[in-house]
């Protein structure tokens, strides 16, 4: 409860982690607010069905609040005048102010009467897109801070956020956001492409960092490293060097 | 959304662009061509002519017959590799996916006119559309987006017209995006005036593509973009990113390693849509060459390094390309690896 998890990927695509957390929390019976900025609803739906969860059904029973960034963006730019008092959550495209997005998140996760879901969860895929769309790095950090304050501390829920990063990245804004978030996360899942290059059997390596040093003064972070291979319906993890292709 | 990084002189990327459009004509798709440099009608006049299947098949058949003769004798030294499939530079048993084109001939105008074509030439589009306040991006891009959206909804590519029974695909081609001709200075300076225009444009375009039956190819003079951060963001926002690096004018042109080829193809990213996995091919090293009639993309294979007096420079280059050759190398080496004792 009240945990902030950071999903990070470098040189590879970490979206399989997003799919995992989405189906994990839905199966656990939590109320999920998914801010999906990069892909369409049907993409997530199809993958979730392979993982055993139906997003459409979850949406219908009110368990899932899905913000489809691509669609909202089109509605904002090409649609007719919106009703006053209902600003689009993607307002920041024109005003570079993320407050409307935060309000959307807060409203969707605040428990309504008659809600029987266990803890609220905010899932964001992915945060680096906000920077591409004109939001300043500091504004993005503020947004995350507000989300943490309301979701983690006030509502005792969890927040899971995906960011991209690169070594020798020249994108300073992105690096600033990623480094700052790393310092404030309880758990970091870092998917990296192999340093030696592309391999058919091992798609990458995942570093799991449990930031015990956040909660305890003298605690040390616990780091575990595994390698993984992504298949059609699941992902297999194994210790380094013990891939099935090698044994 | 296929994002292509142009080669230095734009020769090969415009060829690839025309291939995409020509394929659309042959398949009967509608076309939308946008350009700020060359008038779209001129681009459309220069599409390569499609090859009839039998002529191409015959050409390939001759080549394949010549090759298969010498492969039957068993290997004496590298016998471990005997069991591996023979590496094929280009797919000889080509699956019927797409068509082949003859670069030396132009497409017949009647064929080209058999599909509906829409074009957007920046300098002809006068500032007619008002209401830019919600857009907050480069006006050229904004107008292009509005034009695309108008075509999509008018022609029913987004399924908005339930009466239309024949659903067709719209192929969108946008040339030299991000260059100065579009009014964007992202290629000229390190700190462009509006660093977000290009990325916002791509995001909205992505939304339009996801919502409708369309596919899009964009070519960008990536070698001119100074600000690498923008390239990283753009890569994130595209589905497929392919870079073309031609050898013209670089030291590799005279390098004997690359003498058969005209350039390299770098596949930076492939789409991972509707699935956890993506379709990854065995090798990531591709090179292209432009023969008199055909433009082919093949797997890069280095010739065996047989000479005793191999110079330092080419050895380093070999080491450099060996780094590029990833662990799929074992299958494709077949005696072509330079063993160092």
Mutate to test the interface with A, among B139, B214, B327, B332 (most CBs of A within 10 A): B327
Task: Tell me the CA distances in angstroms from B135 to A78, A90, B93, B125, B201, one per residue in order.
Answer: 10, 12, 49, 18, 10
Q: Do A232 and B134 touch (CB under 8 A)?
A: no
Are B329 and B337 in contact by the 8 Å Cβ rule? The answer is yes
Tens of pLDDT, residues B242-257:
777 766 666 555 666 6
Pick B134's closest partner by Cβ from A39, A76, A230: A76
C-alpha distances out from residue B21 to A225, B62, B170, Å:
46, 29, 10
Contact B237 A132 (CB under 8 A): yes
Confidence of residue B64 (pLDDT cuts 50, 70, 90): very low
CB–CB contact B134 A78 (8 Å): no
Q: What pLDDT is stored for residue B326 in this prediction?
A: 33
Chain A residue with minimal CA distance to B270? A13
Least confident of A6-20, A24-38, A182-196, B33-47: B33-47
Q: Name chain A contacts of B319, Cβ cutoff 8 Å.
A: none
Return the pLDDT at B327. 31
String of DSSP letters for A153-222 = IIS--EEEEEEEE-TT---HHHHHHHHHHHHH-SEEEEEE--TT---SS--EEEEEEE-HHHHSTT---E
- Mark A129-140 as b/e (b = at least 16 C-beta within 10 Å): bbbbbbbebebb
> Among A8, A134, A164, A243, which would you mutate to test the B interface (most chain B Cβ atoms within 10 Å of its Cβ)?
A134
| A116 min Cα distance to partner chain B (Å) | 31
When mean pLDDT is compared across A41-55, B114-128, B198-212, B317-331, the lowest value belongs to: B317-331
User: ipTM for the complex?
Assistant: 0.84
Those residues whose C-beta lies under 8 Å from the C-beta of residue B333, and which sit 6 or more positions away, are: B81
DSSP string of B158-169, one letter each residue = TS--TT--S---
Comparing CB atoms, the residue among B145, B196, B272 nearest residue A134 is B196
Question: Which residues have C-beta within 8 Å of that of residue A35, sequence separation ≥ 6?
Answer: A67, A69, A101, A105, A122, A123, A124, A125
B154 has a pLDDT exceeding 80: no
Please say if the pLDDT value at position A152 is more than 80. Answer: yes
Cα–Cα nearest to A188, from A219, A225, A153, A155: A225
pLDDT at residue B186 in the model: 62
Fold (CATH) for B2-52+97-242:
Rossmann fold (3.40.50)
More confident residue, B232 or B130: B232
Q: Mean pLDDT for chain B?
A: 60
Residue B240 has pLDDT above 70, yes or no: yes
Return the minimum-mean-pLDDT range out of A141-155, B184-198, B273-287.
B273-287
Tokens of A210: 């449990």
pLDDT higher than 50, residue A15: yes
Q: Against a cut of 0.90, is the pTM above it?
A: no
- The domains of chain A are located at 3-239
For residue B178, pLDDT beyond 80: no
Does the structure show a pLDDT above 80 at A181?
yes
The tens digit of pLDDT for each residue in B216-228 reads 777 777 666 666 7
Q: What residue segments make up the domains of chain B, in order of their start? A: 2-52+97-242
Q: What is the mean pLDDT of residues B282-302?
A: 61
CATH number of A3-239: 3.40.50.300
Which residues 62-91 of A have a C-beta within 8 angstroms of B?
69-71, 73-74, 76-78
Model confidence over A184-243: pLDDT tens digits? 888 888 888 776 666 677 778 888 888 877 776 666 778 888 888 877 777 778 777 766
Residues in chain A within 8 Å Cβ distance of B228: 170-171
Percent of chain A past pLDDT 70, that is, above it, reads 84
Which region among A68-77, B57-66, B267-276, B299-308 has the lowest average model confidence (pLDDT)? B57-66
Distance between CA atoms of residues A35 and A122, nearest Å:
8
* Between B269 and A188, residue with greater pLDDT: A188
pLDDT exceeds cutoff 80 at A38: yes
Asked, as a colleague might, if the bond just before A215 is cis with ω within 30 of 0, I would say no
Asked if A170 lies within 8 A of B327 by C-beta distance, the reply is no
Confidence at residue A246, expressed as pLDDT on a 0 to 100 scale:
62
Quote the tokens at residue A68: 């489809």
What average pLDDT score do residues B76-92 get? Answer: 44
CA distance B334 to chain A (A): 19
A224, with CB counted inside 10 A (0-12, 13-18, 19+), is exposed
């Amino acid at each position: 409860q009240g945990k902030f998890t950071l999903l990070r990927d470098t040189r590879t695509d970490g979206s399989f982690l997003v799919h995992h957390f989405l189906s994990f929390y839905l199966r656990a019976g939590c109320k999920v607010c998914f801010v999906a900025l990069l892909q369409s609803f049907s993409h997530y739906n199809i993958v979730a069905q392979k993982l055993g969860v139906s997003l459409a059904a979850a949406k219908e029973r009110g368990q899932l609040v899905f913000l489809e960034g691509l669609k909202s963006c089109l509605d904002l730019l090409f649609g007719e005048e919106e009703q006053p008092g209902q600003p689009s959550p993607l307002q920041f495209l024109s005003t570079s102010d993320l407050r409307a997005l935060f309000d959307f998140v807060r409203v969707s996760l605040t428990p309504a009467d008659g809600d029987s879901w266990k803890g609220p969860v905010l899932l964001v895929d992915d945060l680096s897109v906000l920077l591409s769309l004109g939001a300043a790095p500091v504004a993005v950090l503020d947004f995350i801070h507000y989300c943490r304050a309301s979701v983690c501390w006030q509502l005792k829920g969890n927040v899971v956020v995906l960011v991209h990063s690169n070594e020798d990245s020249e994108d300073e804004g992105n690096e600033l956001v990623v480094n700052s978030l790393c310092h404030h996360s309880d758990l970091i899942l870092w998917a990296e492409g192999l340093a030696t290059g592309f391999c058919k059997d091992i798609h990458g390596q995942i570093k799991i960092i449990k930031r015990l040093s956040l909660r305890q003064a003298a605690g040390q972070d616990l780091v575990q490293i595994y390698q993984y291979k992504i298949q059609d319906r699941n992902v297999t993890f194994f210790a380094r060097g013990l891939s099935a292709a090698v044994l | 959304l296929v994002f292509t990084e142009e080669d230095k002189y734009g020769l090969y990327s415009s060829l690839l662009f025309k291939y995409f459009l020509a394929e659309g004509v042959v398949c009967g798709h509608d076309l939308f061509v946008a350009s700020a440099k060359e008038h779209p009608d001129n681009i459309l006049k220069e599409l390569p002519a499609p090859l009839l299947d039998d002529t191409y098949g015959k050409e390939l058949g001759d080549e394949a017959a010549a090759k298969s003769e010498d492969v039957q004798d068993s290997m004496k030294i590298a016998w471990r590799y005997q069991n591996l499939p023979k590496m094929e530079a280009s797919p000889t048993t080509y699956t019927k996916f797409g068509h082949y084109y003859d670069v030396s001939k132009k497409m017949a105008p009647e064929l080209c006119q058999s599909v509906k074509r829409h074009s957007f030439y920046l300098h002809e589009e006068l500032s007619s559309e008002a209401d830019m306040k919600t857009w907050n991006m480069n006006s050229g891009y904004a107008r292009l987006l509005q034009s695309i959206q108008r075509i999509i909804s008018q022609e029913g590519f987004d399924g908005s017209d339930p009466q239309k029974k024949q659903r067709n695909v719209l192929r969108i081609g946008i040339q030299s995006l991000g260059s100065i001709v579009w009014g964007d200075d992202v290629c000229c300076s390190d700190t462009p005036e509006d660093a977000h225009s290009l990325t916002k444009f791509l995001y909205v375009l992505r939304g339009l593509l996801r919502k409708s039956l369309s596919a899009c190819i964009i070519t960008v003079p990536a070698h001119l973009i100074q600000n690498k951060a923008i390239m990283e963001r753009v890569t994130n926002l595209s589905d497929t990113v392919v870079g073309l690096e031609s050898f013209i004018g670089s030291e590799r042109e005279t390098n004997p390693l690359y003498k058969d080829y005209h350039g390299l193809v770098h596949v930076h990213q492939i789409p991972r849509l509707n699935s956890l996995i993506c379709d990854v091919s065995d090798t990531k090293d591709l090179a292209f060459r432009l023969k008199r009639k055909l433009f082919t993309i093949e797997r890069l294979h280095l010739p065996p390094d047989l000479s005793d007096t191999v110079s330092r420079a080419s050895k380093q280059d070999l080491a450099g390309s060996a780094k590029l050759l990833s662990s799929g190398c074992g299958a494709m080496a077949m005696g072509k690896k330079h063993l160092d004792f």
